[in-house]
Amino acid sequence: MGIVVRKASLDDVKGIVDVNCSGVVKWYKEVDGKRVEASYEELSVEERWSHGGPWMSIETCSIHLNYLLINNQYPLVAEIDGRIVGELELYIGEEMGVLGKSAFIDILWVHRNYRGRGVGRALINKALQIAIGNNCDTLSVWPEEKAIPFYKKVGLDKIAFKIVHVVIDLSSHIIPIGDHQFIFELPEGYDKVKKMYLISPRIESAYTVWIKNQWLYAVEEARMKIEEGQILDLEAVYVIENLWRKRREARLILWTLNLEKINKILKAIFYRAKQLGFNKIQMYIEDEVYRESIINEVNHEIKGKHVVLAKTL
Ligand SMILES: CC(C)(COP(=O)(O)OP(=O)(O)OC[C@H]1O[C@@H](n2cnc3c(N)ncnc32)[C@H](O)[C@@H]1OP(=O)(O)O)[C@@H](O)C(=O)NCCC(=O)NCCS
pLDDT for 209 beyond 70: yes
pLDDT classification of 166: cutoffs 50, 70, 90: very high
Find the 109 Cα to ligand 1 centroid distance in Å.
10
Instruction: Assign domain 162-307 one CATH number from 3.40.109.10, 2.40.30.10, 3.40.630.30, 3.20.20.105.
Output: 3.40.630.30
Q: Whose CA is nearest to atom 44 of ligand 1?
A: 147
Please give the average per-residue pLDDT across 172-192, as a whole number.
86
107: Cα separation from own chain's centroid: 9
Residues with CB under 6 A from ligand 1: 108-110, 115-121, 143-144, 146-147, 149-150, 153-154
Find the 125 Cα to ligand 1 centroid distance in Å.
13
Find the 198 Cα to ligand 1 centroid distance in Å.
29
Q: What value does the mean pLDDT of the chain take? A: 93
- Tell me the pLDDT tens digit for each residue of 235-283: 999 999 887 777 789 999 999 999 999 999 999 999 999 999 999 999 9
Cα 221-224-228 angle, rounded to 5 deg? 100
Between 146 and 225, residue with greater pLDDT: 146
Q: Which fold has domain 3-141?
A: Aminopeptidase (3.40.630)
Q: Nearest Cα to 104, choosing from 172, 153, 151, 39?
A: 151
What is the reported pLDDT for 1?
Answer: 62
What is the reported pLDDT for 110?
Answer: 97
Which residues in the chain are classed under CATH 3.40.630.30? Answer: 3-141, 162-307
pLDDT classification of 175: cutoffs 50, 70, 90: confident
pLDDT for 226 beyond 90: no
Q: Whose CA is nearest to atom 20 of ligand 1?
A: 150
pLDDT for 222 beyond 90: no
Q: Which residues pair with 158 in a beta bridge?
A: 310
Please give the average per-residue pLDDT across 180-206, as a whole number.
95
pLDDT for 163 beyond 90: yes
Q: Whose CA is nearest to atom 9 of ligand 1?
A: 120
Q: Which of 84, 91, 150 to mutate to test the pocket of ligand 1 (most atoms within 8 A of CB)?
A: 150
Residue 2 CB-density burial (10 A; 0-12 exposed, 13-18 middle, 19+ buried): exposed
Find the 102 Cα to ligand 1 centroid distance in Å.
22
Find the 140 Cα to ligand 1 centroid distance in Å.
16
Cβ-based neighbour number of residue 226 at 10 Å = 15
- The SS3 assignment for 173 reads coil
Percentage above 90 pLDDT, the chain: 86
Find the 119 Cα to ligand 1 centroid distance in Å.
8
CB 311 within 8 A of CB 139: yes
What is the phi/psi pair of residue 239, to 5°? -135, 130
Residues in the chain: 313
CB 305 within 8 A of CB 162: yes
CB 272 within 8 A of CB 182: yes
Please give the average per-residue pLDDT across 155-163, as a whole number.
97
Lowest mean pLDDT among 117-121, 219-223, 274-278: 219-223
DSSP secondary structure string, 222-266? HHHEEEEEEETTTTEEEEEEEETTEEEEEEEEEEES-GGGHHHHH
